[in-house]
Amino acid sequence: MLTRLSIPSHEEVYRVEDAGAGLRGFIALHSTRRGPAAGGLRMRAYRSDEAALEDVLNLSRGMSYKNAAAGLPLGGGKAVIIGDPARDKTPDLLRAMGCAIDALEGRYWTAEDMGMSPADMAEIARATRYVAGRDQGAHASGDPSPVTAQGVFAAMRAGAARISGSDDLRGRHVAVQGLGHVGWHLARLLHEAGARLSVADMDGARAKVTAAEFGAEVVAPEAIHAVAADILAPCAIGGVLNAQTIPEIRAAMICGAANNQLAAPGDAEALHARGILYLPDYVANGGGIINVSAEILEIADRAAWVDARLDAIGATMARILERAAGEDASPAVIADRMVEAALVDKAG
Ligand code: NAI
């Protein structure tokens, strides 16, 4: 059922198959150097096995970077199931994936990702204990979104301090793209801090309600990136910083929760060349994995432990920005370099 593949960039990669349960997928452990590989389980109608394998390899590598940037004693891993979550998902299939995860004996911990629900994760947890992000149980961590928003807020304050010498966001104008689980909480924190808000969501009603709650201006989704704000906060989807949007951005700084905000690696340089301070997404949005890791690591005093690590996001971001300014480089490049050093030196 688990077939090991030899992929030099990753410590362990498996093809997962269970014909009886209709399961096809992959599990990738990029690195366990800092601790067990942790990262979510995604179910998607991939166009081919190769596409699924490419996704799991990229995502697991990304988790190594995110976990190391958050200073967590965790490595990076990810799992994918090939199939349409609306049509192909069955309890049998989920339990079969749970058995595959269990066979790795804790070297990989899974959690919810695209195409999975809390109920699905509960089904998987019947077959393995290596499931985090549960909403029940002694160390259950529940919805990570408010914690993710707090981490983005801490990073944003570090960015504001670098630009203006003060981390006070009062009176700053922030354009929030996407008002879902994280974006709404971020808008709330910013409103409470006295920031002025422009907001957008594909769901117009959602944008209107949030705007009324926080005294914000509603902007069309296709125009939010170009608002003349101090800060742009992408909290919707990936790839929003690209060749088309970058020339139109008027904010001095970008800091948000969305994963993979840069469409291509060269986009970090393009932002730097325009003098726009881009705060690396995987550092800013580490609150989610911090929240989940308290469950994996069975931390007793969760609240204090999580708070300390959220503060550390701000401190790490400040260090990245300082170094980037010193070297006249994009913070994205500096963050990658710092994390790569930490991945080699476990204590880093
Ligand atoms: P969500 O699905 O709850 O919210 C996304 C919102 O963005 C929705 O309201 C949607 O209508 C809106 N949206 C989609 N496309 C848009 C567009 N082009 N313009 C404006 N609005 C658009 O997702 P959630 O959980 O809030 O996550 C947001 C982002 O943050 C995602 O990229 C996610 O991967 C990332 N993230 C989330 C974490 C969490 O704790 N939920 C943790 C780390 C990263």
DSSP string, 3-66: EEE--TTSSEEEEEEEGGGTEEEEEEEEE-SSSSEE--EEEE--SSHHHHHHHHHHHHHHHHHH
Q: Which residues line ligand 1 (CB under 6 A)?
A: 144-145, 148, 177-183, 200-203, 206, 221, 235-238, 257-259, 285, 288
Q: Which residue has the higher pLDDT, 347 or 292?
A: 292
pLDDT level of residue 167 (50, 70, 90 thresholds) = very high
Do the beta carbons of residue 110 and residue 88 sit within 8 Å? no
Do the beta carbons of residue 175 and residue 227 sit within 8 Å? yes
CA atoms of 261 and 177, how far apart (whole Å): 12
Pocket test for ligand 1, best of 44, 112, 148 (most atoms within 8 A of CB): 148
Q: What is the pLDDT of residue 346?
A: 56
Placement of tokens 């971001």 in the chain: 317
What is the average pLDDT value for the chain, to the nearest integer? 95
Q: Is 78 a catalytic residue?
A: yes
Arch. (CATH architecture) of 145-286+315-341: 3-Layer(aba) Sandwich (3.40)
Which tens digit of pLDDT belongs to each residue from 223-273? 999 999 999 999 999 999 999 999 999 999 999 999 999 999 899 999 999
CA atoms of 282 and 293, how far apart (whole Å): 15
CA 87, 92, 94, 96 torsion: positive or negative? negative
**pTM exceeds 0.95:** no
CA 295, 298, 302, 306 torsion: positive or negative? negative
Atom of ligand 1 nearest to the CA of 238: 32
Task: Say if 2-59+76-124 and 145-286+315-341 have the same CATH topology.
Answer: yes
What residues does each domain of the chain span? 2-59+76-124, 145-286+315-341
Which tens digit of pLDDT belongs to each residue from 317-343? 999 999 999 999 999 999 999 999 988
Placement of tokens 């928003």 in the chain: 149
Is domain 2-59+76-124 given the CATH code 3.90.550.10 in the classification?
Answer: no
